[in-house]
Structures are given as C-alpha cells and as structure tokens.
Structure 1
C-alpha cells in the first residue's frame, strides 16, 4: 500500500506548523513501521525544492512561483506533476488531502482520493458566524465533489460539514486523531504554582482573548497567577499581527498585572511535554475545534485540562471527570473553572489520572493506525471492484 498525503505543514525544524502537520507526521511514522509506503507532497516553507526521508516518510517540499491571483494554479500544477512522477515510480493507492486540497488536482486513474475533515471553510464560517467567502467556498465544494471517501475526526465535524457540503453516498469513517503516547507521558518536573499554559495558534477562534480577560478575575484571588501563551502568531488579511492587537487592547486592561501574561512564541514539539508538565493547568478555551490535539496531549500527561464545551469538546472531555469544560465566550466562566483547579488539588489530580486513562483508551496511536489501515483497504478494494 502506498499513501500520499498532500500538505504544506509537514514539520520542518525552525518553521511553525499547525495541527495537521503534527497529525500527518505522527500517523505517517507508524504507517511506515507497519510496512506501508508513505509520501508527503506540498509547498516548501522557503523558495527552494527539498526532498528528504524523515522516519521512513518520503517528504517532497516543492517550490512554486508566487504570482498574485494565480498562485493556486501554479501550486496545483507543481503538486500534480510531482504526484504523477511519484506514481510512475511507485504506484500510489490513496491520495489524502484536507478539505480544500482536491479542488483543482487532476485525478489519476486507479488511485482513490480521500478528504480528511480537519475543519474547512464552511465548518468554521458557521462556528464564527461569518459569511462564506465565494472563492473559498467554491474551492471547497469542488474539492468535496472530487473525493471518493471521507474521514471525519469527530462526530461534530462530520455532522456540521455535511450541512453544507454533500457527502452523497460515499464512505465516511469517523477516526480520532492519534496521540503520540511515548512523547506525551507524565514526567517529573517542578510544577509552577498557579501557572496557566495555553498552546496553539494565537488567534481569535482559539479563545485566547477571553483567556487573557479571565486573568483579571483570577488575579483578584490568586495574585501570583501567570499565563504563558505558546504558539505562532496569526495575521489579519492586511498583515496586522493578532498578538500585537492583544498587546495593545487586552494586556493594558490588566494594569499593574500586565506582566502576568507572557507570549512565548513557537515552542519546539520536542519541548512541548516539558511546558505542559510545568503547568498548574493547561487551558484551551477554543470557540470551535474539529477535535483538537492539544487537549488530549496534555490529558495524556495527567494534567488538569480546561477545554471548550462548544463543538466536539464533550467528545474529548467528560466534565469534572477527565477535565473541565467552559463557555469559551465567557471570561468569568473560564476564570471560575481555572480557580476551581487551583483550589482543589486532590480532585484536580484525580481528573488528571482519569484523563490519561481516557486518552490511552480512545487516542491510542496503534489502534487508530489500524483503523486507518482498515479504512484505506476498504477504499482500495472498492476501487478495484469497480
């Protein structure tokens, strides 16, 4: 079996990447260990072309000219040509992309095309109450029409995506993201009392603005509390920095406690477990997620975790049993949940133990990889019978 993933986010040292890149890197490594050939094709972070083998995964980082208005066309051509060349050398069985990834990609005969619902334009437009961008909406609809099958990373993303994009009678499988259990496990480091850690892209939909606002309530009762914000910046269409906006509008509201919030920037994936381990509580009050990786990662380390009650939050955490859920739009609710953890050490520790047990049962990479292999085989066998 030969799987080809399409992504521009495959992790590269020194460059930020999102959850999709982490997911593909984690899944690919174990697929290779199972004897499956894996290729990853996407744009490079730099203006050059690179080909390398990482944990047995053949990674093609391609360069395409940036021509305003036509970048999508040239990127597609470069990626399509490389996939064709790979296929001629070693026949591909499955090409997998995220929601918009198949929009303009020509299909190769005998190859099955899969979309993994990581959360597309229609999904997040609904959750953020904004209009559909005509161009992006067109691309996503076109991409979905090209897919032979789908993987939904949560029941919520499956249900809400299908409200806008037709899945017709094609195969749809619900498979969790896998968590690297060897990487995220309890480690002995000193816990910083009343330290809150956030990890993820620093943008509005991650609830970071409300988390900063919650600090005003937390500091009233716990004046030594601190918030470390770990992750890459997000930029508005005009190029303005979201972090700089927060520094200009939200941080000053904390007045003399402004230094209680620290922007740590991008944290190396290998260092992330240490960051989680040192936290008193890990807080991820997202307005919306497809499933999210950071919450189960921190849960796997037996940390008290605050997650969102919106979307698939209840699919990840059982409130007061494996963690806490909050209203991500309500700074006071976020603050109350975090203060509860500070006040109830024994109960919080018990939640951490339950959290790790839950992750080991539901996000175990070995069982999830087997689910993916079974899914891929079903598609391949179905394609051969046509």
Structure 2
C-alpha cells in the first residue's frame, strides 16, 4: 500500500510547524514500520525543490510560487505534476489531506482521496464567530465533493463541521490523533520545578494565552514563586504585527512586578517539548477552540496534570479532576482557580497524572491508532 499525504507542514529543521505537521510525521513513520510506503508532498518554505528520505518517508518539498494573486494556481499545478510522476513509478493507493487540500487536486483513477478533519475554515469561522471567507469557503466545499472518505479526529469536529459541509454520504470514521507514549513518557532524570506553569502551542488569541497571562496575578498571590513558561511560535496579525509584541506592550505591563516571572521561549524543536513538560508542575492549555489538539494528551502521557479547555473536545480528552482539570478559557479567574488547586494538592495531582497517562495509553496509543488508520485505508481501497 502506498499512502501520499499532502501538507506544507511536514517538519523541517529551522522552520516552524504546527500540529498537522507533527501528526503527519508521527503517522508516516509508524506506517513505514508497518510496511506501508509513504510519500509527503507540500510547498517548500523556500523557493527551491527539495527531495529527501527521512526515516523511510519520501518527502517532496516543491518550489514556492512567488506569483502574487496566482500562487495558489502555480502551487497546485506543481503538486499535481509531482503526484502524477510519483504515481507512474509507484501507484498511489490513498491521498490524504486536510479540509481544503483537494480543491485543486486532479483525481487519478484507482486512487482514493481522504480528508482528515483537522479543523477547516468553516469550523474555525464558527468557533471564532467570524464570517466565512468566500474564496476559502468555495475551496473547502469543492474539496469535500472530491473526497472518497473522511476521518474525524474528535466527535466535536465532526458534529460542528457537518453543520456547514456535507460528507456526501461517503465513509466517515472517528480516529483520534496518535500519541507516542514512549517519546512522551515520564522523565525521571529531568528536574520538575515547583510551581512552574507551562504553556505550549502557537502564541495566539484562540489558544487562550492572553487569559492565561491575565490569570497570573491571582496565582502569584497564592504562590509568589510561580513562573509562567511559554513555548511556541509567534502569530501575526493581517498587518504583519506580532501577537507576542502586542502581549508584551498591552497585557504584561499591567501585571506590574509579576511581569518579570513570565518567560517567552519562542519556537522549540519537537525533541525539546518533553523536557519542557517534564519541568512543569502543571501544564495549561486554555484554548478557545480545538479540533482535538495534541499538546494536552502529550503532556498527560508524561503524567503531568493538564488544565485544558472545557469547550469543544475538552470533555472528550479529560475527565474533570480525574485525568486532568477543565477550565473556562475565557475566564482568567477560573483558569487561576484550577491552577491553584493543582499546585495546592500535590498528592492528588500525582494520582491525576498517573490516571492521565493510563487514559492516554488506552485511547491515543500509537499501535491502536495506526491499526485503525490502516484498516480505514484498506476498506477505502476495497470500496468501489
């Protein structure tokens, strides 16, 4: 079987990537271990073609078009050309991508096209209460019509996507993201810092980082030595200005003397994330919206108590006060209350951490999730 993922986010040293890139890398390498050939095609970060084999995965990064207003056309044409060339040498059974990914992809006979619901334009437009962009909305609908099947990473993303888009009576399966519970495991050799609060993810409004910062003074009153460690890449507004800069200029100064205990570590490599989690007393991800998210179950797999959003798929990921804590991500007081509870209840927190790892191993374990995906791929191929 030959699977081809279409994504621009496949991890590349020196360049940032998001959760989709992490997911594809994890899944691709595990599929290779199961004797599945895997190709990944995407547009490069730079204006060059690059081809390499990484841990058995064939990665094709195509030269990015600089044609203003028409880059989508030239980039799509380059991807279609690469797919054809790869398919001639080694026929592709499955092409998988995210919600908008099939819009301008030409279909090949005997190849099945799968969309994995990572959270598309319609989904996030609803959650962020903004209007549908006509061009992106058109692409997403066009893409959905071409799909031969769908995979939802949570029940929440399925139910909220189908409010706006039809699955066109095509096969749909609910399969969680996989978590490498060997890579994300307790690290006894790394020191945990008392009262250290860790956030990881893109530093942007929808991840709830502003409300987490606003909660910090309440926490400091109870735990004066608490620190807030923020790991993740910056996000930029439409005018090109930095979200982190906005926080530093408009939010953090209001904290007064507490501001000195907030640290921005910037984008860190995937390999460094377990160390960041290991040093945490509590990991906090108060997202306004997620399709599922990887950071919460990854930290849980390391026996860390996670404070996660109670919105969206939060209740699918955490049983409150048993495998973690759920908070109102729009309420700094509630975020602070949950963090203070964790820091005040060390023994209970340890038990929650152990329960969290057990839960993640059962629900998100690599072997189980990879097997579910392979079964879905085989059924898709057999489905005429």
* Alignment TM-score, normalising by the size of structure 1: 0.98
Look up the match of 2:382.
381
CA distance in 1, matches of 2:103, 2:225: 50
- Corresponding residue for residue 347 of structure 1: 348
Q: How many angstroms does 1:64 deviate by?
A: 2.9
Deviation for aligned residue 1:13: 1.0
Q: How many corresponding residue pairs? A: 383
Q: Residue 83 of structure 1 corresponds to which residue in structure 2?
A: 83
Secondary structure in structure 1 of the residue aligned to 2:228: strand
Which runs of 4 or more aligned residues in structure 1 lie more than 2 Å from their structure 2 counterparts after TM superposition?
none
Look up the match of 2:177. Answer: 177
Give 1:110 shift: 1.2
Tell me which moved more, 248-257 or 150-159.
Answer: 248-257
Asked if 1 retains the 8 angstrom alpha-carbon contact of 2:179 and 2:366, the reply is yes
List gaps (5 residues or longer) in structure 2.
none
Could you say what the CA RMSD is over the residues aligned between the two structures, in angstroms?
Answer: 0.7
Provide the secondary structure at the position in 1 that maps to 2:235.
coil
Aligned to 2:153: 153
Contact 1:102 1:147 in 2 (8 A): yes
For residues 205 and 93 of structure 1, the distance between their equivalents in structure 2, rounded to whole angstroms, comes to 36
1: CA distance between counterparts of 2:27 and 2:325?
Answer: 28
Give the aligned partner of residue 15 of structure 1.
15
Using the alignment, how far apart are the partners of 1:238 and 1:66 within structure 2?
19
Give the equivalent residue in structure 1 for 2:167: 167
Q: Which residue of 1 aligns with 2:93?
A: 93
Counterparts of 2:366 and 2:306 in 1: how far apart (Å)?
A: 21
Q: Deviations over 1:194-228 (max 9, x none)?
A: 11000000111000000000001111111111111
- Once the two structures are superposed, the pairs formed by residues 219-298 of structure 1 within 5 Å of their partners are 219-298=220-299
Asked if 1:304 corresponds to 2:305, the answer is yes
- Counterpart contact for 1:97–1:114, Cα < 8 Å: yes
Per-residue deviation, 1:260: 1.2
Residue number in structure 2 paired with 1:34: 34
Q: Which runs of 5+ in 1 are unaligned?
A: none
Deviates more, 1:325-334 or 1:266-275: 266-275
> Contact 2:197/2:282 (CA < 8 Å) preserved in 1?
yes
Deviations 1:146-194 (A, max 9, x none): 1110000000000000010011211000000000111100011211111
Q: CA deviation at 1:256?
A: 1.3
TM-score (norm 2): 0.99
**Does the Cα contact within 8 Å between 1:43 and 1:64 map onto a contact in 2?**
yes
